Amino acid sequence: MTTMADDMLNLEPASLEALSRQLGEPGWALEARRAAQEAFAALPFPERTEEAWRRTPPELFNPQGRGIVRLTPAFDLLGEGEPEEPVGLPFEKGLARLGQVPESLGPSGSRLQEKFSALNAAFRSGGAWVGLPRGRSLDRPLQITHQVPTIQAPAAFFPHSRIVGERHSKATVVESFASQGGDLLAAPVVEIQLEEGACLQYVLVSRWGEGTRALTHLDVRLARNSQLRVLFLGVGGATTKAFLTGNLDGEGAKSEFLGLVFASGQQHFDVDTLQNHHVPAGNSDVLFNCALNESSRSIFTGNIFVAPGAQKTDAYQKNRNLLLSGKAHADSIPKLEILANDVRCTHGATFTTYDQDQQFYLQSRGLPDADARRLIITGFFQEVIERLEGPVLVEWLAGLMQEKMETSLGV
Amino acid sequence: MADASTEAAIVQQIRSDYKYGFSDAEDYVFKSGKGLTRELIMQISRLKQEPEWMLDIRLKAFEVFKSKPMPTWGADLSGIDFDDIHYYVRPSEKAETNWDDVPEYIKNTFDKLGIPEAERKFLAGVSAQYESEVVYHSIREDLEKLGVIFLDMDGALRQFPEIVRQYFGTVIPMSDNKFAALNTAVWSGGSFIYVPEGVKVDIPLQAYFRINAQSMGQFERTLIITAPGSFVHYIEGCTAPVYSKDSLHAAVVELIALEGSKIRYTTIQNWSNNVYNLVTKRAKAFRNAAVEWIDGNLGSKITMKYPAIFLMEEGARGEVLSIAFAGKGQHQDAGAKMVHLAPHTSSTVLSKSISKDGGRASYRGLVKVLPKAENIRSNVRCDALILDPESRSDTYPTMDIGNQNVHIGHEATVSKVGDEQVFYLMSRGLSEDDAITMIVNGFFEPFTKELPLEYAVELNRLIKLEMEGSVG
């Protein structure tokens, strides 16, 4: 399931060829990598003075001097049932089948406009390719797992996943990124494209190991009347910086971005969400809950952008922060940039600790202090988890949060 | 020269819409050339016969000003040319305390603005600043007997140098930002208020700021100190004539509310639409003290102003209540900053904005809680109305929370005037124009009801004026 190059490659143009050869790619794929490498070299490295990087130093993600991890993802289905025909492939296989690079990875594509996305496009070393055929509805959630084994020397991992929901398809995809020990820089890029009327639930589970710094890009394009529900679940990794972007390109599109972060120890999560309303009658809804234990830190930056003419936009954004320790630190920057008038855009942010009334009530019913706290945190997560459809998925996610809670709180 | 005629037409147009757009002929005791030099700063200081230490501060600040970059965030400030500004204009020799002694043309100006009348009716003291200097000053005798000091800043520096020296620049250091440094280097005029222990000044003190000359920079400096257990309400109003060249207003306002005292500071900013209004306002509230900024932004081309309250000790309370009206060609980038440095402190921000005719209103705010500050309550609410498809509204709040025992909430909404509300009012016989104006007045009401009646009436009238013709 997992393979790794015996000889670690480094970030030099010459490595592109070796990487492309190892993955058995055609010549045009290598050309696209070269173009991306040039774009990467030409783009300036982000500065700490830039708004997006003020609270997480970009130097942490400097890829120089690292070997490259090559990895093939595992595909299976969540829950019980008949085996189905798999709809997922390793990225390079999907690419070969398509016969050309997708537009976003092309010479003037959006991925080549940003430093780390261009890096990923050049040194892509894994990832999944999911095509949901027209009108097809998947009964069980598809699970994609990227599991990086223990590494000895400093390494970098650049998975690129692409999910295309064709017209009126319906599916749930759960993509987990995980690593064992070692000094790893992971910079995954996930691109989701929904055609008219497509409907997708997508869960990104970030369970990186303790030595991992993760820089994640999730970019979604929604065509007319398509619906998307994303859950970003952050539990692992030392430092995480994530950019989650929803582009409402077609009228009547609905984008729901959910987030759950449970940070402990010295963990640092810095998540940027952006809802781009380009056209009228879009609906976006963001709910991001962060629970912080010990000396952890979280930063939530959310923006709702409504372009001129995007009338009848309905956008909501909420960030809740639960501070579980005196040393935890949370930032919230929920922004609105509204250039149309016939809209309803609202946002809210709250910061609290354990609700003493709730805790008192639970204790009065005979629950020990630790159990009462655990119940309150569970409730805080449940608010988000319950937004998802499918009992198997909800149960699986609740189990994941429980696991993190046990290691973090020792209860 | 084809441009000149259109420019003149535009100026004419703005003039006809703006009630305070008239200007006086210039007849000044001193008017500096354009641009800022070390020599000019020394000259200002010499003309004011200032102590040596103030000149030192000015010159140091000038160096800081030169070394600081222009802010790259917020509004577009590229139109400011620091070499095309008159930094110091002295209209008369001294601040008069008798209205009759004020030069005739200035008196006429303030008469037109209704200042002396307002003073007679409901104010405890008035200060009127014209260009760089305060030209008229008065305070009710009973307050003076209680030890209340209400002076122009230059007068305070002459009469109470030790108090000024103790507090000057302690709330806003010169290195805070480029415009605070500029103000520190060339400041002139502004108000100085000291309210002694236990004294409650129950009716407001007022200052009125007027820019008359073209390409003028006004840099007033205000310092208010309330001793333990005292209270003061200070109101300021601002206007300027309309010229084709832009003026710059870069004030620094420092408030110090000592234990158990309260300061309420009300601003109704109605600069003409060719003034860059870049003001640094900050307060320190000590044990059980309260500071309230009531901040109305109607005028100016660009305003960047974020009244701040540093909650220094336990029990301190801060409140910002602000409205912004961004019309054609205006960018109101206003907000509030609450910094909780001590436990058991609380803050509230209520911001309301309207954008119209392509105007842009932005809320930019900060709530910061330091790790040692426990049991904090803070609530921020921003509401915005956008009246037409060309206009824009932004919200940029930052919350930086370093303590767990907090209750912090932030809410914001952006919407248009509700169709149902307009329909209901029209069904009761109101015209569409009147219905929308009534809704806008209602939207601003939490602000207007905090103003003294005369101001509330004036503000409602201004809003009505701004709203005229808003329905095609």
**For residue B28, pLDDT beyond 90:** no
**For residue B160, pLDDT beyond 80:** yes
Q: How confident is the model at residue A5 (pLDDT cuts 50, 70, 90)?
A: very low
**For residue A314, pLDDT beyond 80:** yes
pLDDT tens-digit series, residues B210-247? 887 888 899 999 999 999 999 999 998 877 777 777 89
pLDDT tens-digit series, residues A263-303? 999 999 999 999 999 999 999 999 999 999 999 999 999 99
Res B287: pLDDT: 98
Q: How confident is the model at residue B97 (pLDDT cuts 50, 70, 90)?
A: confident
Compute the average pLDDT of residues A331-342.
Answer: 95
Res B289: pLDDT: 98
Calpha distance B27→B91 (Å, rounded):
7
Classify residue B25 by its DSSP letter: P
Mutate: best of A270, A339, A344, A359, partner B, most B CBs <10 A: A339
State how far residue A73 is from chain B, nearest Cα, in angstroms.
38
pLDDT tens-digit series, residues B448-457? 999 888 788 8
Res A227: pLDDT: 98
Q: How confident is the model at residue B2 (pLDDT cuts 50, 70, 90)?
A: very low
H or E segment and range at residue B58? helix B52-67
% of chain B surpassing 90 pLDDT: 66
Distance of CA A212 to the CA centre of its chain: 15
Mutate: best of B401, B419, B436, partner A, most A CBs <10 A: B401
Give me the residue from A309, A311, A328 closest to B404, CB to CB. A328
State how far residue B381 is from chain A, nearest Cα, in angstroms.
9
User: Residue A332 and residue B394: Cβ atoms within 8 Å?
Assistant: no
User: Residue A349 and residue B404: Cβ atoms within 8 Å?
Assistant: no
Compute the average pLDDT of residues A112-133.
Answer: 95
Compute the average pLDDT of residues B282-303.
Answer: 96
Res A75: pLDDT: 93
Mutate: best of A351, A355, A358, partner B, most B CBs <10 A: A351
Of B263 and B112, the one with more pLDDT: B263
pLDDT tens-digit series, residues B13-27? 555 567 777 787 777
**For residue A111, pLDDT beyond 80:** yes
Give me the residue from A332, A339, A342 closest to B399, CB to CB. A332
CB within 8 Å of chain A, chain B residues 15-74: 73
Mean pLDDT is lowest, of A80-94, A267-281, A395-409, B389-403, for: A80-94
State how far residue A62 is from chain B, nearest Cα, in angstroms.
26
pLDDT tens-digit series, residues A196-226? 999 999 999 999 999 999 999 999 999 999 9
Domain ranges of chain B: 11-305, 418-472
Give me the residue from B387, B407, B414 closest to A345, CB to CB. B414
H or E segment and range at residue B67? helix B52-67
Res B1: pLDDT: 39
Compute the average pLDDT of residues B133-149.
Answer: 86
% of chain B surpassing 70 pLDDT: 93
Q: What is the ipTM of this complex?
A: 0.86
Res B469: pLDDT: 61
Q: How confident is the model at residue B118 (pLDDT cuts 50, 70, 90)?
A: low
Res A34: pLDDT: 93
Indicate the pTM of the whole model. 0.89
**For residue A4, pLDDT beyond 50:** no
Torsion sign, CA atoms B22, B25, B31, B35: positive
Res B357: pLDDT: 93
Biggest CA pair distance of chain A: 70
